[in-house]
């Protein structure tokens, strides 16, 4: 397996990545209203920093992740928030360390991008998911986080995990605060 970090997806990988995302994050069972809300919540393409692509021996994409980066304000200070999203693995390649490898590579990208902390949303009630991202330093936030959708609607969820990247002080302050963690516009 080979891991590549790219700014834009090469044409030869873009179609396969789209297929993987459809397999892993299908909206087939959603109503039109649910699809519209999902689009409102996950409206952060402008924050895309890099892509992490896992390729098998024949250069076929078998795993993928998106790395995000945005500036947010927290207690009057600017914070470089890194994000990990769209982590997916081809079903035939699961349980071979691919999601772990793309997640670890994404964290390294966030270090290079000088992100203070990293955020992701995940099924924090699933011990396997918590273990997967825990290998890269993520821990459940254990309280709500908020963000604005593209419509301006304020959303509140409780599925956040965060990790220290370049600022342990910011990480500790976010982790120990009792206030909801506001991540800006759009979820990842």
Q: What is the CATH number of the domain that holds 142?
A: 3.40.630.30
Q: Is the pTM of this model over 0.95?
A: no
137-168 pLDDT, tens per residue?
A: 999 999 999 999 999 999 999 999 999 999 99
Helices (H), 47-126: 98-112
The domain in which residue 48 lies consists of 2-185
Radius of gyration of the CA atoms of the chain, in A: 16
What confidence score (pLDDT) does residue 57 get?
86
Reference 97, options 61, 138, 54; nearest CA is 54
Low-confidence ranges of the chain (pLDDT < 50): none
Contact 100, 68 (CB under 8 A): no
Widest pairwise Cα distance in the chain: 49
> How many domains does the structure of the chain reveal?
1
Alpha-carbon distance of 166 to 38, in angstroms, equals 31
Reference 46, options 71, 79, 19; nearest CA is 71
Contact 66, 176 (CB under 8 A): no
Which two three-digit tokens encode residue 93?
């390649």
């Amino acid at each position: 397996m080979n891991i590549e970090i790219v700014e834009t997806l090469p044409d030869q990988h873009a179609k396969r990545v789209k297929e993987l995302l459809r397999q892993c994050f299908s909206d087939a069972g959603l109503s039109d209203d649910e699809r519209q809300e999902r689009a409102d919540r996950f409206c952060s393409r402008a924050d895309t920093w890099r892509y992490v692509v896992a390729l098998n021996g024949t250069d076929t994409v078998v795993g993928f992740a998106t790395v995000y980066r945005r500036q947010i304000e927290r207690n009057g200070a600017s914070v470089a928030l890194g994000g990990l999203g769209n982590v997916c693995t081809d079903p035939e390649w699961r349980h071979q360390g691919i999601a772990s490898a793309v997640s670890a590579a994404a964290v390294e990208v966030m270090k290079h991008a000088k992100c203070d902390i990293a955020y992701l949303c995940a099924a924090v009630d699933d011990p396997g998911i918590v273990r997967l991202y825990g290998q890269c330093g993520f821990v459940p936030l254990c309280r709500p986080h908020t963000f604005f959708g593209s419509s301006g609607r304020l959303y509140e969820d409780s599925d956040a995990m965060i990790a220290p990247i370049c600022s342990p002080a910011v990480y500790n302050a976010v982790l120990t605060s009792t206030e909801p963690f506001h991540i800006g516009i759009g979820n990842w």
